[in-house]
Structure formats: C-alpha cells, structure tokens
Amino acid sequence: MTKAVFIKDLGQYVGQSVEINAWVKNFRSSGKIAFWELSDGTGQCQAILNEAELAPELWHKSKDVSLESSVKVVARVAKHPKREEYELQVSELYYYQIAADYPIAKKDHGIDFLMDIRHLWLRSKKQWAIQRVRNTLTLAIYDFMKINGFTKIDAPILTPNACEGTTELFKLKYFDETAYLSQSGQLYIEAAMFAHNRVFDFGPVFRAEKSKTRRHLTEFWMMDAEMAFTELADNLKIQEELVRFMVKNVLEKNKEELAILERDIKPLENIDKPFFKMTHAEAVSWLQKNGSKIKADDDLGAEDEGKLSLTHDNPIFVTHYPAKVKAFYMKRDPEDNNRVLCADLLAPEGYGEVIGGSQREDDYDILLKRIQEHKLPLEEFKWYLDLRKYGSVPHGGFGLGLERMVAWVCGLQHVRESIPFPRTIYRLRP
Ligand code: 4AD
Ligand code: MG
C-alpha cells in the first residue's frame, strides 16, 4: 500500500512513491504529456502525466480532467531542478469527482460576482493565503495571551444593553423582551478580571452602523483584554508587544502566503522598532496643517487616520481623545477633565485603527454620573456598577479587531476579504 501524504510534506518523500489526495487547480497538455497543478489545501505542486509511463486507459481518462476535479494520484516525488518545489510523476489516477464547469476562471472577475460565490472563491490562491495568515494571527493571539498570564473568558453574545453606545446594535426578540447582539465583551470580562486578574475574550461581535467604508463589517472578530492594577502606559506596552508578536509570527510562518499576496514585507519588518505615540491634540494640529477640516474636539475620521498612518512606517498610538467622542466607561485624564486616558492604535500604510483601548473609570460615583450623562438605562448597568463597589481597582484594557489586522498584514484593499464570509450592510449571503 502506498502511503497517503500531504503536499506540504512532499520534501520528506523525494524518490518515493506516495498517494496524494487533492484538487486540480490548473491543467495543460502538450500532446503526450500533461501538467496538472494540484492543491490539497496544505500546499501546491505540479503533477506530470506522461503517456509513455501511464496505462493506456489511465492516459485516456486523464483527458476528462476539469478545474477543481477531486483526485487521488499515486506518484513518485521529485525535487524541482531549480526551485524549492516538488513534482509528482503520476503512475495511477482516480477521480473522486470530475467537477462541473467551474465558474471562476483565470480572467478578472468583478468583486460582486466573486462575493456571490464566496463559497467557491475561498479556494483561490490569494483567498487561501489570506485565511492562512488569519489563522496564524489567531493562534498568535492565544500564544501571546497564554505566555503573558491571561485567562480566556467567554463573554455572552446575547446582551440586554449596549457596551459602546446605543445606536449601533442589532436588536432581536428574546421571548418577551428585547435583546441585542454584543458589540464587545469588554464589560463582561471586566467582571471576570476581579476573579482572574488578566483576562481576554475572543469572538464575533456585531455593529449595526451603516458604514460603507473599506474597514467596516457588521460582524467581525474582536479580542478584548482587561488587566487589573494597570495604568495606561502598561496597557499600551502590552498592546505593542502583542501586535509585534502577531506580525513576527506571520513573517516567520507565512512566507509563501505573503509571496502569493505580493505583500511588500519591508513595512512589516519595521515592527521591531518602538511604536510612535502622539496625543490627539498633536494629531489634530498636524492634520489641520495638512489640509484636514478636523476641529480640536472631533474624533479622527477614517480619512484623518489614513493620512496620519501614512506618515509613519510603524503603528502609531494616538492618546488622550476628547471625552465626548469616546465611551462612557473611559477614565478622565486628571490633567485635563475634557479628555480621557485612552489610545487608539493606528496601523501604518494608511490602514488606521486596529485597536481601541483605555483606562476604565473605577470610581463608583463618577461612573454612575457618566451612565446618567450618557442616558444609559441605569437598571441594566447595576451589575457593572457593582464592580466599583466590591474591591474596585485601577484597570484598563483594549479591543483588537482581527479583520483590520488581517487586512493590514496581508495588504488588502478592503476588510471584507479578511473574513471567510463577510457581513456588511450590503451582504448577508452566502
Ligand atoms: O474601538 P472599539 O469600538 O472598542 C471597543 O469595542 C472596546 N469595548 C474594546 C475594549 O476596550 N475592550 O473596537 C475595537 C476594535 C477597533 O479598533 C477595530 O479594530 C475593530 O474593533 N472594529 C471593527 N472591525 C471591523 N468592522 C467594524 N465595524 C469595527 N468596529 C470596530
Ligand atoms: Mg474605536
């Protein structure tokens, strides 16, 4: 019996006969010899079918091949004479299925066409590479959090109230009452922080904002982290180390994928340098000098973030935003009560915000006042206020958007390709 192996492991079998189970990604023939490009999801390789070396009925059968046909071949492994690639000299062939006419051809298709057949588009080389990078980033988050003593806490998705603000929630009927899909697990992991100290969650969150930008999804994956006995400077330090760890993991583990994506890796290699920090006030003054209409106490618009993040070759922290543009739970700056102790991390190359974080208000009376000022339903926030009643501590945390990270690291135009099945205001299918 020939051993079944993955394409990624072919290097271990040079000179031997192995079985490969894969899909046909491309094929061409020059009379007596046919070349098939195979992928089994772990890697790609070329299979060579030679009329002289195949049984006549197999050679005949090989002509039925079509794009995406699923096959089993028995073949001898050879190393490509010039490149670090392996070739298969096929001796046996079996079709699991000869695929029907595959709708994705080599020619350029429009984005809507491709998104309508996202279930098939995921097989394309670039889409394959993106999901592999996403996987590396996800695993890197878990590794980093484990190394740094964080406990994973699973926050609920069905919630009775908003975390970030009340206007952007998906509402649903929950028996006799109304529930909302969670925007962020933050408030819940704050509760768990009092039991475990350093905690994080990682899961899908939902925003009903009708944003049409290239960086907004209605469903995306967020990692929230929360740390007890921590001030803003240490919060930023952890974020910087996390992002550096994630990017370095991709640079190490996804060379092939980055090459497929034609990603210029020079900007990613800057990640070892310290991240730049500027205050919101400094950012505004720079932006005003560079043609933005932003006012002193405005939030940074997507365009502003883009401009700022083009000026540096590494991520930038923008700190101390005006309190009025940020969430109710952020702690005020003792040196300027109109500002909060917060930071957004902007990815370079025009990508903009990938992390939002802050020091949390830890005083019961002030937090109560903020909840009232924001006209939030006090009844729903009683449990959250309790956390400031029983052993309150200085604490802070942040939320990292996975798709924004994937888009930046892969160099994607739009965040929609960074998630397998994107949900936007225009798209709920497939
Ligand atoms: O800045 P945001 O809204 O922060 C929070 O939700 C906090 N509760 C997080 C915390 O402190 N624990 O969102 C965090 C990150 C953003 O920086 C961005 O990367 C991503 O989530 N994000 C989105 N990604 C895709 N589509 C959207 N509509 C996004 N909104 C936010
Ligand atoms: Mg934000």
| Ligand with smallest separation from the Cα of 235 | 1
Strand segments (E) across 188-326? 199-206, 219-228, 276-279, 316-319
pLDDT of residue 167: 67
Residues 6+ apart with CB under 8 A from 137: 246, 249, 250, 402, 405, 406, 409
- What are the structure tokens assigned to 300, written together? 């940074």
pLDDT of residue 30: 87
> Structural domain boundaries of the chain?
3-97, 118-418
CA dist 73 and 134 (Å) reads: 30
* pLDDT exceeds 80 at position 162: no
Atom of ligand 1 nearest to the CA of 217: 26
* pLDDT tens digits, one per residue of 99-146: 999 999 877 899 999 999 999 999 999 999 999 999 999 999 999 999
CATH superfamily for domain 118-418: Bira Bifunctional Protein; Domain 2 (3.30.930.10)
Strand segments (E) across 98-185? 151-152, 158-159, 171-174, 177-181
Atom of ligand 1 nearest to the CA of 354: 19
Mean pLDDT in residue range 273-286: 97
* pLDDT exceeds 80 at position 165: no
Contact 224, 155 (CB under 8 A): yes
Mean pLDDT in residue range 319-326: 97
pLDDT of residue 212: 87
How far, in Å, from the CA of 220 to the mean position of ligand 1? 9
- What are the structure tokens assigned to 110, written together? 């429009």
DSSP-assigned beta bridge partners for residue 37: 26, 46
CA-closest candidate to residue 126, choices 423, 414, 426: 414
DSSP-assigned beta bridge partners for residue 340: 332
In degrees, rounded to 5, the angle at the alpha carbon of residue 180 between the alpha carbons of residues 179 and 183 is: 155
Ligand 1, from 145, 200, 215, 222: best to mutate by most atoms within 8 Å of Cβ?
Answer: 222
CA dist 10 and 75 (Å) reads: 11
Q: Which residue has the tokens 């583990």?
A: 253
**Which residues does ligand 1 sit against, CB inside 6 Å?**
163-164, 183-184, 186, 207, 216-217, 220, 222, 224, 353-357, 397-399, 401, 403-404, 415
How far, in Å, from the CA of 120 to the mean position of ligand 1? 29
Among protein residues, the one whose CA lies closest to atom 18 of ligand 1? 401
* pLDDT exceeds 70 at position 396: yes
Q: Which residues lie near ion ligand 2 (Cβ < 5 Å)?
A: 356
Mean pLDDT in residue range 216-236: 98
pLDDT of residue 107: 79
pLDDT band at 249 (very low <50, low <70, confident <90, very high): very high
* pLDDT exceeds 70 at position 215: yes
How far, in Å, from the CA of 139 to the mean position of ligand 1? 19
| Ligand with smallest separation from the Cα of 162 | 1
* pLDDT tens digits, one per residue of 338-393: 999 999 999 999 999 999 999 999 999 999 999 999 999 999 999 999 999 999 99
Question: Mean of the per-residue pLDDT values for the chain?
Answer: 96
Long-range contacts of 378-386 (CB under 8 A, 24+ apart): 380/160, 380/161, 381/161, 383/191, 384/187, 384/190, 384/191
Ligand 1, from 404, 414, 415, 417: best to mutate by most atoms within 8 Å of Cβ?
Answer: 404
Among protein residues, the one whose CA lies closest to atom 28 of ligand 1? 216
pLDDT of residue 141: 99
How far, in Å, from the CA of 34 to the mean position of ligand 1? 50
DSSP-assigned beta bridge partners for residue 36: 27, 47
* pLDDT exceeds 70 at position 166: no
pLDDT of residue 161: 81
* pLDDT tens digits, one per residue of 32-66: 999 999 999 999 999 999 999 999 999 999 999 99
pLDDT band at 312 (very low <50, low <70, confident <90, very high): confident
Q: Which fold has domain 3-97?
A: OB fold (Dihydrolipoamide Acetyltransferase, E2P) (2.40.50)
* CA atoms 240, 245, 248, 253: torsion sign: negative
